[in-house]
Amino acid sequence: MQNFDRKKKLFVISGSSGVGKGTVIEGFLKRNPNFSLSISYTTRAKREGEVDGVNYFFVSKEEFLMGVKNDEFLEWAEFSGNYYGTKKEFVQKSLAKNKNLILEIDTQGALQVKEKMSESVLIFIAPPSLQDLEFRLRNRKTETEEAIAKRLDFVKMEIQNSQRFDYRIVNDKVEYAIEELERIIKTEEAYER
Ligand code: 5GP
C-alpha cells in the first residue's frame, strides 16, 4: 500500500559519458512522467540547442563562486575548467512539493549528496567493461589518443567512487538497463531508509 505521508527520496544517477547514461535516464523519464530531472547550474558554454533554465542554469564563474561562498549548493564539482552544481533550494522546493526528483551528476557530487542526505539513493550506470567503453570511445573517432586516455582515467576514478554507491546497473542493453532502473526506484520508494 502506498504511504502518502512518506518523505520523497532523492535519486542520484552517475555514470561517465560514453556509457549511455543519458539514453537510460531519458527512457526512464518517458515511461515515468511523474519524475523530473533536477536542473543544475553550470559555468560551461551553452551548446547548440540548449536552453537556459531547461538543460542548465547557465551562469558566470563569479556568480557560481558567490553561490559556493554563500553555501547555496548541495554539491558541486569542477570538470575541465567548468563548474557544475546543484542548488539546495531547487532540491528542497521539489521535495517539499512531493515531487519525484532525479539528479544526474558526477560521482564526486553524488557522494557529497549522500553525506548531507543519507536517505538519498545513489545509482551508478556502468559500462559492460572498460574494454567495451574504450572501443566505443575510439569508434566515435572524435577524440585524440590523449583525450581518450584522459577520459578512461576519469572513468576508472568514477568506477572507484561507485563502490560507495547503493546500486550499480551494467548497461549492456539499454532496454534492460531502463527496466532495472525502474525496479530499483520502485523498490526504494516502497521502503524507508
Ligand atoms: P555536460 O557538460 O556534458 O553537460 O556534463 C558533464 C558532466 O557534468 C556529466 O558527467 C554530468 O553528469 C555532470 N554534471 C552535470 N550537472 C552536474 C551537477 O550539478 N553537479 C555535478 N557534480 N556534476 C554535474
pLDDT tens per residue across span 4-42? 445 678 999 999 767 788 999 999 999 999 899 999 999
Residue among 106, 113, 150 to mutate when testing ligand 1 (max atoms within 8 A of CB): 106
Q: Kindly tell me if the per-residue pLDDT of 86 is higher than 70.
A: yes
Minimal-distance CA residue to ligand 1 atom 14: 105
The CATH number assigned to the domain with range 10-189 reads 3.40.50.300
Residue bearing the bigger pLDDT, 115 or 137: 115
Which strands sit side by side in the sheet containing 82-87, from one edge to the other? 56-58, 40-42, 82-87, 73-79
Minimal-distance CA residue to ligand 1 atom 1: 44
pTM: 0.90
How far apart are the CA of 4 and the centre of ligand 1, in A? 32
Ligand 1 atom nearest 108 alpha carbon: 22
Residue among 80, 84, 89, 102 to mutate when testing ligand 1 (max atoms within 8 A of CB): 84
Q: Kindly tell me if the per-residue pLDDT of 136 is higher than 70.
A: yes
10-14/100-104 β-pairing: parallel
Q: Residue 30 corresponds to which cell in the numbers above?
A: 518517458
Query: Which of 109, 160, 85 has the alpha carbon at shortest distance from 152?
Result: 160
Residue 10 CA, distance from chain mean position? 11
Averaged pLDDT score across all residues of the chain: 90
Residues shown for the chain: 193
How far apart are the CA of 104 and the centre of ligand 1, in A? 7
How far apart are the CA of 106 and the centre of ligand 1, in A? 6
Per-residue pLDDT, 4 = 44
Q: Kindly tell me if the per-residue pLDDT of 3 is higher than 80.
A: no
How far apart are the CA of 77 and the centre of ligand 1, in A? 8
Q: Kindly tell me if the per-residue pLDDT of 181 is higher than 80.
A: yes
